[in-house]
Amino acid sequence: MSELRVDNIVDMGGSGAPQLRKGASVTGISTITQAVIGNTTINAGGINATGIVTSSSNKFVGDLASGNITAGVMTATSSVVASNITINSGGVNASGIVSATSYIGNGANLTGVGLTIAPLIYSPELAATGVASKPTIELSFNQRIKAGSGNVVLRMVGAGSTIIENFSVGSSVTINNDGTLPKLSFTPTSSLSPDSVIYVDIPAGAIETPAGTDIKATNWTFTTKNIFNYWGAGWNSYGRLGQNSLSPGGVSSPVQIGSHKWTQISSSGNGGMGSKSDGTLWTWGYNPQGQMGINDVITRSSPVQIPGTTWTTSNICFHDYSAAVRTDGTLWMWGSNAPGALGQNNRTQYSSPVQVGSDTTWSTGEYKLSTGTTTFAIKTDGTLWTWGGDSEFGNTGQNSLIKYSSPVQVGSESTWSEAACGMYHAAVIKTDGTLWCWGQGTDGEIGNNAATNRSSPIQVGSESTWYKASASAAGGRTAAIKTDGTLWTWGGNNYGSLGQNNTTKYSSPVQIPGTTWSDLGNVGNYSFGAIKTDGTLWVWGENDKGMLGINQPANSHRSSPVQIPGTTWSVVARSGGGLMAGKP
């Protein structure tokens, strides 16, 4: 712009137009009646714009129209954005395919979004085993759903496809679109038969999209948990064996736990806990910190029921606290809480069950929940969570030595399958068959050919054929079975815990002879038990107070597998203090 030069300006009384002094000269001033800039015309009538106006600034300065312009806001009567999107007073009209990085709101009225509707999470999981006899069955989707027509059906596989029960969508089948993921859910009226393959059949049209489009048929199978008579041996100073009596010197031959069958049993060195096929949960033994979960601190030497009939997975810790999952996917804990192990974001002791958070996605399958000084739990989406811990070994897997009093995720993977933990280390298998360990490693129990602690997961070897893993209750030893039926151990080896007929430590896996091993569990502080496909049960390691159950004097340890009589053994429980194993 040219410079305005005025020798003198005289204000004529302050009311009229200013008057230039005689002889003053003014240059650089022009009068513009109209200016055209691109598609914008500026004249005495204001600013007229057609089409789309682009501004390099997000602010308007001055008085446009009414003068009530908010910075950066423009009202348009119509705009065409590309050839298939029009914005006008009626809203946004789009045809064809529209790409968006996000939308605001819950998407309730969105239709035709370019994502095929599909199930995301199955519960029980596809081909899951060890499922409770009365599970809550759920199917989560990636988009909203509504009831269609037809029934969801449960059938028995291998029994002429016998129909177990029909469920009407919209009444006995519940649809919930308000959660993180839309889902349908239902629960059998009666308990399913044990050790049975169940077929879930959701026919096409039973579920629809909000627009009324039928969702294609969906089906999958799972296997219910078997029930067994359980037998135990070893420590019984506080009634750990549930015999309604105490045996301070231990019990060296297996005795039956209760007079009925159990779907699952676990034990610490001083107590036990078991679930039945009717969804009830029972506990017994040492109880000064409320670890029995019956709202008192009285020790009992025979089973007492914890309130409720929807319990499924349970685990009792070597360190005096307990955990269990209900069929609705909620997780509950009670007992000692010194390291924050109960997941309550505090250090308060509880003598009756308290829920961990509000999640309903904790897995109810076998080996999804394990406790030591740290708790590990796997969710239905395959993520692994941990809390509690120590300040020395990093057994929470967080790459730190911090204790946590509420759940934190281990890594970001969603492929964790089975969890096992000892006192200070963990051994967890992924769905791809790889095995990962972390925590205390001073005895070589991490299996990475070293004797150092690891505070984050490290893979054991490079194999992807691991099938089942166990960690000794008092720590320092790890054992695992591969899919080819071979059994491997590593870590500390006092008492002959590794089954190698010696007491030498090994910091990488060494094989125990045989190729027909099928199940595995820790059966004491520094001992293991395993079952072969022929139904025989074998034990080795520490035998303090008869914990191996081989009817031998206390402290007669075994450095190689010794058979316990019988050929119908089916499962080895994970237990501290001695043997817990089941058979029909």
* 432: pLDDT strictly greater than 80: yes
Write the DSSP symbol of residue 546.
G
φ and ψ of 190, to 5 deg: -120, 160
Please name every residue paired with 153 in a beta bridge, in sequence order, or none if there are none.
Answer: 166, 201
pLDDT grade for 4, boundaries at 50, 70 and 90: very low
Cα–Cα distance for residue pair 329/511, rounded to 1 Å: 37
* Residue reference for tokens 């269990």: 324
Cα–Cα distance for residue pair 516/518, rounded to 1 Å: 6
* 442: pLDDT strictly greater than 90: yes
Cα–Cα distance for residue pair 203/298, rounded to 1 Å: 52
Of residues 10 and 422, the one with the higher pLDDT is 422
Tokens representing 122 are 């199955």
- Helix (H), strand (E) at residue 165: strand 163-168
pLDDT grade for 74, boundaries at 50, 70 and 90: very low
pLDDT grade for 90, boundaries at 50, 70 and 90: low
Instruction: Output the pLDDT for position 233.
Output: 97
b/e per residue 18-53 (b: at least 16 CB within 10 A): eeeeeeeeeeeeeeeeeeeeeeeeeeeeeeeeeeee
Backbone CA torsion sign across 36, 40, 41, 46: negative
Q: Which of 353, 346, 403, 342 is nearest to 375 (CA)?
A: 342
Q: Which of 246, 294, 238 is nearest to 267 (CA)?
A: 238
Show Cβ contacts of residue 549 under 8 Å, excluding neighbours closer than 6 positions.
231, 232, 233, 234, 252, 253, 254, 523, 539, 564, 578, 579
Instruction: Work out the average pLDDT over 250-259.
Output: 94
Locate all alpha helices (DSSP H) within 375-445, ordered by sequence. Answer: none
The per-residue pLDDT of the chain, averaged, comes to 84
* Residue reference for tokens 């294609």: 216
pLDDT grade for 95, boundaries at 50, 70 and 90: low
Of residues 29 and 361, the one with the higher pLDDT is 361
pLDDT grade for 225, boundaries at 50, 70 and 90: confident
Instruction: Output the pLDDT for position 239.
Output: 95
- Segment among 18-22, 362-366, 477-481 with least mean pLDDT: 18-22
Cα–Cα distance for residue pair 583/579, rounded to 1 Å: 13
Please report, rounded to a whole number, the percentage of residues in the chain having pLDDT higher than 70. 79
Strands of the 85-88 sheet, one edge to the other: 78-81, 85-88, 91-94
* 576: pLDDT strictly greater than 80: yes
Cα–Cα distance for residue pair 98/101, rounded to 1 Å: 10
Beta-sheet pairing, 264-267 with 425-430: unpaired
Instruction: Work out the average pLDDT over 230-236.
Output: 96
pLDDT digits (tens, 9 = 90+) for 49-72: 555 455 554 444 555 444 444 444
Instruction: Work out the average pLDDT over 71-97.
Output: 53
- Helix (H), strand (E) at residue 108: none
Cα–Cα distance for residue pair 120/344, rounded to 1 Å: 29
Show Cβ contacts of residue 202 under 8 Å, excluding neighbours closer than 6 positions.
139, 152, 184, 217, 218, 219
pLDDT digits (tens, 9 = 90+) for 96-109: 545 555 545 555 55
Of residues 134 and 245, the one with the higher pLDDT is 245
φ and ψ of 546, to 5 deg: 75, 25
pLDDT digits (tens, 9 = 90+) for 171-208: 889 999 988 889 999 999 888 888 889 999 999 999 99
Tokens representing 184 are 């349908």
**Cα separations in angstroms, 61 against 33, 47, 57, 69:** 21, 13, 10, 9
Count Cα neighbours of 214 within 13 Å in the Cβ-side half-sphere.
Answer: 10
Of residues 306 and 158, the one with the higher pLDDT is 306
Radius of gyration of the chain (CA): 35
Contact 10, 20 (CB under 8 A): yes
Query: What are the DSSP calls for 454-504, one per residue?
Result: EEEEEESSS---EEEEEE-TTSSEEEEEETTS-EEEEE--GGGTTSSSS--
pLDDT grade for 21, boundaries at 50, 70 and 90: low
* 376: pLDDT strictly greater than 70: yes
Instruction: Output the pLDDT for position 70.
Output: 44
pLDDT grade for 6, boundaries at 50, 70 and 90: very low
Largest pairwise CA distance in the chain: 129
Instruction: Output the pLDDT for position 544.
Output: 94
Please name every residue paired with 41 in a beta bridge, in sequence order, or none if there are none.
Answer: 36, 48
Instruction: Output the pLDDT for position 156.
Output: 86
* 313: pLDDT strictly greater than 60: yes
Which domains occur in the chain, in start order? Answer: 1-50 (no CATH), 119-224 (2.60.40.1220), 229-583 (2.130.10.30)
- Segment among 144-158, 240-254, 271-285, 557-571 with least mean pLDDT: 144-158
Strand, coil or helix: what is 83? Answer: coil
pLDDT digits (tens, 9 = 90+) for 149-170: 889 999 988 655 789 999 998 7
Strand, coil or helix: what is 544? Answer: helix
Instruction: Work out the average pLDDT over 16-43.
Output: 54
Tokens representing 432 are 């791809």
